[in-house]
Structure 1
Amino acid sequence: MNDSNLTMLCVGDIILGKDAQPYFDSVHPFLESADVIFGQLEVPYTSRDEQSDELERHPEYLEPLVKEGFSVLALAGNHLADAGDMGIEDTINWLRDHEIEYVGAGMNISEARRPVILERNKTRIGILKYNCVGPEETWATSNKPGCAYVKVLTHYELQHANPGGPPSIYTFAEPQSKVEMENDIKELRKKCDVLVVSFHKGLVHQPAKIAAYERELSHAAIDAGADLILGEHAHLLKGVEIYKGKTIFHGLCNFIAYVPSLFPKQGDDMEAWANKRIELFGFAPDPEYPTYPFHPEAIYTMLAKSNIENGKITSTSFIPCIVDKEGKPVVVGRSSGGLEVLEYMRNITELAGLDTQYEWSGDEIIMR
């Protein structure tokens, strides 16, 4: 093998609790074989917050990410400020102390917009991350910790022949915010061989549908110089798009998302809890997944894979996984559940109006 060849794996949202190492059992061999591993750390970790014990969010619980060899964690997202400024500071400090790069957040906006540049086997990989879903409280300023962001606007066009009826909804990036993102990409393009942009974006808990701004921003990023686009936040897989020969993973779903805090406590009214989730999100989680109370279709997830040769991405694929009832991602091959994931991807891709085709290559699924 040429010493400039690399494998990069990218995964979706990560929320770890205490004693999380067993959650990596099935995916460990794949992570171990990768040269670069990227993931989205969904929540902050600090011991200074009063909910740290209840939520299991002490920084040392992130230790499995060190053992599994994660190279970069993205922090820009809607939960970044859940534990205040101290949560952002403590998360960053822990990652820095444990030699995991972070991107998309910082103690001010300049740090939050700073790219990560990794050098592996004579190849420089540049990564940028933006939060596109708000809230504004998470956004960094010149003197406030937070995340890098692209502001997205929503316009509701009323159906005047049907007062009170459902409006048409249009989403698009605020122009100046979009230009700033494009400028970041153009500047980074001068400094790296492979350029990755990750967006915290998408319609949460809504299968298949991709909002207009998601394609707008993904295309704009590629036009500005990006080679690979990643999407997190929706907590569901979304379709894959090929644009100008570049791959857009519109939604990577969860990787490991341990959130028993969202499940009813003993003695709570299960029916009332389920009805409230239906009211908010249109579904009731499966009670057999007490630490993973997401949409029933969120059991399908993936490891997104890029092969890099001589400073260029030469192919992209994904390793299909199904989350078990303990909340662990389990790698599934063609004869062990992978066909189920493949059929799901084909279905949601078609429903989203994308024309990407999927086919097997060994136990991985490639796009064309």
Structure 2
Amino acid sequence: MNITVSASILPDAAIEGVQGFLIPMSCTDLPATMQFFIARLGFRLDAIFPADGPRTAILSRGSFTIRLGLDVQDGLQTLQVLCDDPSDTPGETRELIAPNGVTIRLVHANPPMRLPETRQQLVLSHAGDAAHWSVGRAGMRYRDLLPERHGGAFIASHIRILDGGPVPDYVHFHKIRFQVIFCRKGWVRLAYEGQGEPFLLEAGDCVLQPPEIRHRVLESSAGAEVIELGSPAEHITMADHDMTLPNARYDAAHDFNGQTFVRHVAKHAAWTPWKSPGFIASDTGIGRATRGLAGVRVVRPSMAGQQAARMHDTEFCFFFVLAGSVDVSASGQQWRLEPDDSIAIPGQLRYAFANCSADLELLEVTLPADFPLA
């Protein structure tokens, strides 16, 4: 049964007094169909009529009600049933057929994160006038920095919020392996589970969003920009209708599915030598917070004109130019990267940085952390 509702006829206000939903189903054997829904799916019988020759039965479970009828002509043909884990239910299959022919599909009520196999490739993204920006959630503009998503394993987005003010967000969480938000311009006001009062994420700051931490975006400055990287590329976002943010502050070592929350404030950053001589880096602490899963740093040359020949053996390596410019060469090609350009470099590929401007700043994201955690 297909139901189509035209947006032009939807009322402005919610309908008062709604108590549940009644779904019609046709059947030819009423007793057998009733027994299936009662015994197998936990429904209860609420009504049956007429008494001298039953042709209709009303069954319910919670606020969901079905009307089984010998006279129903166009009833529901497929019913999805939420289960704790349908694959582990002894003796069950993922699909059942009820006596009335309705297909019962057992689906996961809390589906797990699915991580595709990483397919690395060299990906260059320029931010010039030809760059494509799409309109995403809440009117935000998105520039895709990794169009083929490394096979679905990673996503990298440059996001702009054109209009400042309150953001129509809600308390939610993501089923992810890794996610970092880096503020590129302006500010965003955020609330996170266990972190006390909301705070401003300002240019140069970043947060690690551990798996399933509840959070909410409250407001932003006009023209705010963030760089968001996550794995996997397609992940489930779940609303939390029970938690209110802000809430009480947790212990700093509170574990969120194997990670701890990180708020890195750029003005408090400490700079130490990078892996390549002639460069320094500011560590965000994300390597330690993820137990080595991912590393996020901001990298600078110690002086103009620095060069570095590099190769890594990581699952993911990504650079975004925050300021200045640099020549990057790999596979016999060379590119000049300017602000807002980015490059993803696969493992085991030799590459080099050259002609670094004195004001060069690179955002570096790697999986795994690719540097000592001490």
Higher helix proportion: 1
Normalising to structure 2: TM-score of the pair? Answer: 0.29
Normalising to structure 1: TM-score of the pair? Answer: 0.29
Which structure would you say has the larger RCO, counting Cα contacts within 8 Å and 6 or more residues apart?
1
Q: Report which of the two structures shows the higher radius of gyration computed on alpha carbons.
A: 2
